[in-house]
């Protein structure tokens, strides 16, 4: 019981640097949630975090750099499922996607990133990089299934993840249709069927 920071899920271990980082991230998420991407100022983030503006600039350069770092941290914290079967793992990955989009803190900045990318193509790199890192991370479950010979070698793991994720983003941001409770299982089954039929390979 000596290290009581371990008892609080929201408190980060580490020294002053880690505390500054956590405070700035928390302030940035709150500002993004309240004001959206366009309305968020790096000055307001620093004030809210109780951190000198010069510290924020030195560390992240600008708001884009800060958001990229924040997004990377959240992505790295996303669990990689290991249920023992690819269908189980894909279902879990889909549930994680749904959970992120229902999360009161994560949803606003995802919306903000998407709106910014559509409005201003020059600033879309943050969203593209975020998604690229997430695809790579989730692709681990497909690579593992190839290793244990559950699915054919030559399956494109990134492409399988895109196929799994796309129907959720499509419903949330495009069609606006509700996400049925069993959609994660059903989408995982479809991706697996396509993989087994040998249709999920790298492009020519």
Gap between the Cα atoms of 52 and 69, Å rounded: 18
Q: Which is nearer to a copy of itself, 26 or 111 (CB)?
A: 111
Q: Are 73 and 63 in contact (CB under 8 A)?
A: no
Residues that bind a copy of itself (CB under 8 A): 36, 111, 114-115, 117-119, 124-125, 127-128, 131-132, 135, 162-163, 165-167, 169-171, 173-177, 180, 182-183, 186, 189-191, 193-194, 196-197, 199-200, 203-204
Q: Which is nearer to a copy of itself, 79 or 178 (CB)?
A: 178
Q: Which is nearer to a copy of itself, 26 or 129 (CB)?
A: 129
Least separation in angstroms between CB 74 and a copy of itself: 16
Least separation in angstroms between CB 73 and a copy of itself: 20
Half-sphere exposure of 136 (CA within 13 A, CB side): 9
Least separation in angstroms between CB 31 and a copy of itself: 17
Q: DSSP assignment, residue 171?
A: I
Q: 90: burial class by Cβ within 10 Å (0-12, 13-18, 19+)?
A: buried
Q: Are 182 and 93 in contact (CB under 8 A)?
A: no
């Amino acid at each position: 019981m000596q290290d009581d920071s371990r008892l609080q899920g929201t408190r980060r271990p580490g020294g002053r640097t880690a505390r500054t980082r956590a405070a700035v991230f928390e302030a940035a998420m709150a500002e993004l949630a309240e004001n959206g991407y366009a309305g968020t100022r790096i000055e307001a983030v620093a004030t809210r975090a109780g951190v000198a503006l010069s510290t924020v600039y030195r560390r992240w350069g600008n708001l884009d750099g800060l958001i990229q770092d924040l997004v990377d941290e959240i992505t790295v914290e996303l669990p990689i499922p290991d249920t023992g079967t690819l269908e189980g793992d894909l279902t879990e990955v889909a549930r994680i996607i749904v959970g992120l989009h229902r999360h009161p803190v994560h949803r606003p900045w995802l919306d903000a990133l998407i709106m910014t990318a559509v409005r201003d193509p020059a600033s879309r790199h943050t969203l593209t990089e975020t998604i690229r890192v997430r695809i790579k991370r989730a692709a681990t479950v497909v690579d593992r299934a190839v290793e244990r010979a559950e699915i054919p070698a030559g399956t494109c793991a990134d492409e399988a993840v895109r196929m799994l994720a796309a129907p959720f983003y499509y419903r949330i941001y495009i069609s606006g249709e509700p996400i049925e409770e069993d959609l994660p299982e059903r989408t995982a089954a479809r991706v697996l069927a396509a993989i087994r039929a040998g249709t999920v390979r790298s492009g020519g």
